[in-house]
Amino acid sequence: DQQVKQNSPSLSVQEGRISILNCDYTNSMFDYFLWYKKYPAEGPTFLISISSIKDKNEDGRFTVFLNKSAKHLSLHIVPSQPGDSAVYFCAAKRGGGADGLTFGKGTHLIIQP
């Protein structure tokens, strides 16, 4: 049972445009959400996070939106740059404590020049 779902295995976006990556979750106990960027054979790199008490968090070109009632979050990257091409993982956990992260399957973002 996949508790964190990223339904788009891949996404192609033109350079300079907005990239929107989506993530859905089913476990109501999750209250902290993170996005990671990953290149092959490297460790995930933390991008941005959001706790369930917020509905938006922004950091530079990256914005994460959380819709708790829909159990949905999205990552917006604007403007998209060639260096953004990578696999993006959505992850979730219960807040507090040393619980492990539950990951989605990832979305391969390709930025076209």
* Binding footprint of other proteins, residue count (CB under 8 A): 24
The least CB distance from residue 83 to other proteins, in Å, is: 19
Quick check: 1 binds other proteins (CB under 8 A)?
no
* CB of 43 or CB of 113, closer to other proteins: 43
The least CB distance from residue 99 to other proteins, in Å, is: 5
Binding mask 10-49 for other proteins (x = CB under 8 A): ----------------------x-x-x----xxxxxx--x
Burial (CB count within 10 angstroms: exposed 0-12, middle 13-18, buried 19+), residue 107? buried
Do 108 and 60 contact (CB within 8 A), yes or no?
no
> Where does this chain bind other proteins (CB under 8 A)?
32, 34, 36, 41-46, 49, 51, 89, 93, 95, 97-106
